[in-house]
Amino acid sequence: MPPSNSPTFSPADLEELRQRVAGPVLTPRDDGYDRETAAYNLATPVRPDVVVGAQDADDVAAAVAWAAAHHVPLGVQATGHGADLPMQGGLLISTARLQECTVDPESRTAHVGAGVRWRSVLEASVPHGLVGLNGSATDVGVVGYTLGGGLPVLGRTFGFAADHVRSFEVVTPDGRRRAVDAGHEPELFGLLRGGKGNLGVVTAMEFELLPLDGLYGGAIIYPGAHAREVLTAWSRWTADLPETVSTSIALLRLPAMDIVPEPLRDRFVVQLRYACTASEEEAERLLGPMRALPDPVMDTVGPMSYRDVDAIHMDPPVPIPYREAGRLLEDVDGDAVEALLGQAGPDSDCPLALIEVRLMGGALSRAPEGAADLVAGREGRYVIGLVGLTVPPDGDRVPAAIEGVLEALDGHVSERTMVNFLGSVDGDEDSVRAWSDEDRSRLLTAKAAYDPGNLLRFQHAVRA
């Protein structure tokens, strides 16, 4: 499928770009274009007029400067996990080749290029008893996830990933390379943490690693017929958990596919996700009320290496076509449970593959001292995420099902969300949910200063 609009640049302009950068420069007619533009969400078309596979930060700067000179809008992609919205036309910069990953055990820091995935960080850090604050899947890119705040598996214990960033290397829309931290351009440094990709193309990042001797975690799967009992118990259980516990509960309707564990294929189940940094004995005691529930289908919770952290959420390891949305959730009381089960319980024909409620609070509710960032969600008690596969026979029912759940939870869900949870929004009015009025005003002011030509306009871009 070709881009919807004709390119705004000439063949001579394209040749100029090829001369400026060392990496590949590809158009839809070139071999390798589809591979270079591929997104994790197969339902999201990413069809730029041209894609640059940047070899290094110099390539990024040259590509940005070329786009500015020719008034070509810009998109950025590393692993493709952030591609929730279509990209038609313009220039895509792929940062997937920026693979520098250095861990310093003495300073407890990691320095990563924009293409590095969390898996690489953990392979280098866990042997030293150190971890980074990845989310539910370590296949996700470190930088893009962190620019959106980054909600970690251990968020209640350590806070948002963005809270631990030391510095960024970024190319602003004028083509200038900048190194920013709390002492150098602190305003830009703060706005990048939670502001996603609105003000520049981040090429590298340094962040703190956290000491972790061990983890007690995994999942307990319950029959879907027990959904009411499990959700009610989880709601009560989460009311006073210590910060050593991070947890979520999910309603799962998974297809009969090889990537799905055998006991979960083509059935409705409830999955408890559990991660605890306390001692094994204390972690077992804290989990007791949930473990006492009857008839679990599967129980994988126990001592584990942090290298195996993906086993807690069991996210799909391969690209899939889907639509998603998320909101902060104010409570999971009896009325909320009934509203949710009315839309997606065992007696419904809900087409959504996953409806997850994560417990917030703890360290997630506290901004670091002196922080002037744009990280959203600190006020949230819970966050709900909804995902549906956009494939036959029920793919066309997914958007209405998402809206149906959120409407049923009216009075329980907030109008706010986090930018990484915005998902497949349909209009500018939905994008504003990611920032408060004050933070959005700060971001718009900075956008006018750093990107007056609105080059960075794809994905979840802030708009006046």
* Alpha carbon distance 355, 34 (integer Å): 31
pLDDT at position 15 is 97
> Would you state the structure tokens that stand for residue 121, as one six-digit string?
């960080």
> Among 424, 458, 423, 461, which residue's Cα sits nearest to residue 440?
461
Give the per-residue pLDDT at 258: 76
- The torsion of the CA quartet 386, 391, 392, 398, rounded to 10 degrees, works out to 30
Q: Is 128 exposed, middle or buried (0-12, 13-18, 19+ CB in 10 A)?
A: middle
Say what the pLDDT of residue 424 is. Answer: 80
Q: Read out DSSP for 191-246?
A: HHTTSTTSS-EEEEEEEE-EE-S-EEEEEEEEEGGGHHHHHHHHHHHGGG--TTEE
Calculate the CA 300 to chain-centre distance: 25
Task: Walk along the chain (464 residues) in steps of 10 and give the mean pLDDT of each run.
Answer: 62 97 98 96 95 98 97 95 90 98 98 98 98 98 97 98 98 97 96 95 98 96 97 97 98 83 85 98 98 96 97 92 95 98 97 98 94 92 97 95 97 94 72 87 94 90 72
| Interatomic CA distance for residues 173 and 48, integer angstroms | 18
| Nearest Cα to Cα of residue 135 among 121, 125, 37 | 121
Q: What are phi and psi of 437, to 5 degrees?
A: -60, -40
Type of residue at 138? T
What's residue 107's pLDDT?
98
In angstroms, rounded to a whole number, what is the distance separating the alpha carbons of residues 147 and 196? Answer: 5
Q: What is the CA radius of gyration of the chain?
A: 22
Find tokens 């959005």 and name the residue.
440
Distance from C-alpha of 388 to C-alpha of 188, rounded to nearest angstrom: 36
Residue 463 identity: R
Q: What is residue 317's predicted lDDT score, i.e. its pLDDT?
A: 85
Give pTM, 2 decimals. Answer: 0.96
Angstrom distance (rounded) from CA 221 to CA 301: 10
Architecture of domain 101-211: 2-Layer Sandwich (3.30)
- Determine contact, residues 92/48, Cβ cutoff 8 Å: yes
**Calpha distance 197→191 (Å, rounded):** 10
Please name the fold of domain 215-429: Vanillyl-alcohol Oxidase; Chain A, domain 3 (3.40.462)
* CA dist list (Å): 462 to 124, 446, 459: 35, 11, 9
pLDDT of residue 4: 41
The answer to whether 423 touches 388, Cβ cutoff 8 Å, is no
Per-domain residue ranges for the chain? 11-94, 101-211, 215-429
Residue 58 falls in which region: left (phi positive, over 0), alpha (psi -120 to 50) or beta: alpha
- Residue 282: the pLDDT is 98
Residue 194 to residues 173, 324, 376, 384: CA-CA distances in angstroms? 18, 20, 7, 19
d(CA 124, CA 132): 10
Phi/psi at 444 (nearest 5 deg)? -65, -40
Are the C-beta atoms of 204 and 57 separated by less than 8 Å?
Answer: yes
Q: What would be the CATH architecture of the domain defined by 11-94? A: 2-Layer Sandwich (3.30)
Residue 6 confidence (pLDDT):
65
pLDDT score at 263:
75
d(CA 207, CA 142): 10
Token digits of residue 74 = 């810009």
CA-wise closest residue to 325 among 408, 250, 272, 383: 383
Residues 6+ apart with CB under 8 A from 416: 327, 328, 376, 377, 379, 380, 433, 434, 436
Phi and psi (nearest 5°) for 239?
Answer: -65, -30
**Could you give the C-alpha distances from 316 to 44, 52, 149, 256, 359, in angstroms and in order?**
17, 28, 22, 13, 21
Distant-in-sequence, close-in-space partners of 359: CB < 8 Å, separation ≥ 6: 156, 238, 241, 246, 247, 248, 381, 382
